[in-house]
Amino acid sequence: MRRVLTPSTAAAVVAAFAVLCVAFSAGAAAAPDAGVSHAASVGDPGASEPVPSASADECDAGDGTELVGCWNGTHYEESVDFEETDGLNETQLSALTDLTMARVEHVRQRPFKQDVPVETVSRSEYANDTAGGNQSEAYRRWNDQVWEALFVVGDEENANDEIDSVLGGAVSGFYSPSEDRIVIVVPDGESPDIDPSTLAHELLHAMQDQYHDLTDPRYVGVTQDGDLAVDGIVEGEAVHVEERYDARCADNWTCVEPSESDGGGGGGFSGNIGILQTVLQPYGDGALYVRELVDEGGWAAVNETMNDPPASTAEVIHRTPDYETTEVAFEDAATGGWETYADQGVDGAETAGEASMFVMFWYQSAGVQFDGAYEYSVLDPDRSPGANYNTHLQTDATLQTRGTYNYAHPVTDGWAGDELYPYRNGDRDGYVWATEWQTEADAAEFRDAYVRMLNAHGDGGHEEGTVYAIGDGSDFPGAYGVERDGTSVTVIHAPSPEGVLELRPDADLALPDADGTDGADGSDGGDDTDGSDGGDDTDGSDDGDDTDGSDDGTGTDGGDGESGSDGEDGSAGTDGDDGENGSDDGSTGGSAPGFGVAAALVALAAVLGLSARRSS
């Protein structure tokens, strides 16, 4: 069952990591595109006739569902008679729901077809209903290999537990398309406390369901990349409407204020920031994509995209509806008892996609800000880890209700397709990851970055054409083979070098020398021109000579280390040469990358989707 979830302020604010609002954010700043003049659909999701809002005189309780901007006799320009949403009783919650439905109609310029029940459930009841999940052991083991291949969850960690940790007790509500209702999760023994913009976001999902049927299989991607891509339009439209809603509140509507309490939470984000930033992608990129659709084709363009959702995150990242992909050619040739998980994913395969691949490389530098991540320069080897980290903050457009993040980089921009096949052999795990790229140059960029990542986690010295071994002291121990053939790059992983060749017997790879070193001469990479961790430190790693712009090998300070300015979204910004948020060199400040507390409420839900999807 697809659920569109909202994380609670308490658990979400537990971090300044907040934009992760995979379900619905809670910002309250004016949006730049607050006007409402675009076409909308009524009845037929593809229709493009504008639907004007009713006047206050036309709004009566018995007028049915035809009028826009009027619900149960409440007009969108009215206001409720209470000032805060802390501890709403049933009557107040109903009044807030009617007003918010009328306002969502006005912003979206089409009417709801039926009432949307808003109910409450206690935190303990919700926990009991969802405890344990529905993942099989085979799925959990398969999914572990997916996240390990992305170098986000280590060999000794459990990806599903990491996902649960990111979620924690954070879900504060969700819209259920199968039950046509919104459920608000409240602390035991307390009355509901809901942010009106969060409610608007959830109600937009209800409207989507009424016009497009969110239970339709097209709204559930069969791969990780497909799921995130679909969320690009589903969540993107909801965030776009939320932006306009909040702009009206800042401009000429009287809006109740959400409670300032964080529900007892606090502290810094302690979960896996790589997982978090993966599921965040549809909320920022999706909203910008929808903004562009509305600007160019009105609401009709959004309706058309809802009817034919994006197929890849690359389409949403680059805002290119006709983004071209390439079929991945893969045949299982494994020997020695290795087998795929035929019942998981798509015939055993996962598709990571461009967004997840970008986060994979970015996560290697996120340790400058977040515990558990690393401080390696993988995206840009000639720049410090801090500058690599800041790449995620450098965006060409912004939102007002939440931070936006960059998921585009030359290392991953040329993505054309991938299939990641986890394998098992008794208690041994491995994988083969077949990727396709638009050009040979794109394939080479990806291959080189992956090798830099291997070198960073190993002892350097990767040699082309030779299986590379990483010791047990790493989070990602074992043997790796990386091959490029034109526009194809294949990554092979097994516990031992021999296992790599069992997985791909035809791979043009040599085993390491008997002494454990790579290459016929047993060297460790010499001058490190392939991006390994050699003497001249060209891969941007920290060996103390500070040529990567780091401060005495710490990799956290860049340039002259002067304090940078605060980021536009209220984050602490970064320290570096120019002191600007997202500067070319420098260390991060004391907060997460542009994560505002208000925006935090929206992302935890998506993680659930990645965890529960295909969990047979």
Token pair 């084709």 in the structure block, residue? 297
Q: What is the arrangement of strands in the sheet containing 171-176, beginning at the earlier edge strand? A: 4-7, 171-176, 181-186, 118-122
pLDDT at 20: 28
pLDDT at 584: 44
DSSP 496-520: SHHHHHHH-TT---BPPPTTS-SST
User: 128-171: per-residue pLDDT in tens?
Assistant: 776 555 679 999 999 999 999 999 999 999 998 898 777 655 56
Q: Confirm if 241 and 36 have CB atoms less than 8 A apart.
A: no
User: 517-529: per-residue pLDDT in tens?
Assistant: 444 333 333 344 3
Query: What is the Cα–Cα distance from 416 to 418, expressed in whole angstroms?
Result: 7
User: 548-589: per-residue pLDDT in tens?
Assistant: 433 333 333 333 333 333 333 333 334 433 333 334 444 333
Q: Confirm if 232 and 187 have CB atoms less than 8 A apart.
A: no
DSSP 71-82: ETTEETT---S-
Whole-number average pLDDT of the chain: 78
pLDDT at 513: 84
For the ranges 317-326, 333-342, 403-412, 600-609, which has the lowest average pLDDT? 600-609
Domain residue limits, the chain: 4-308+599-612
pLDDT at 560: 36
Structure-model confidence comparison of residues 146 and 516, the more confident one: 146
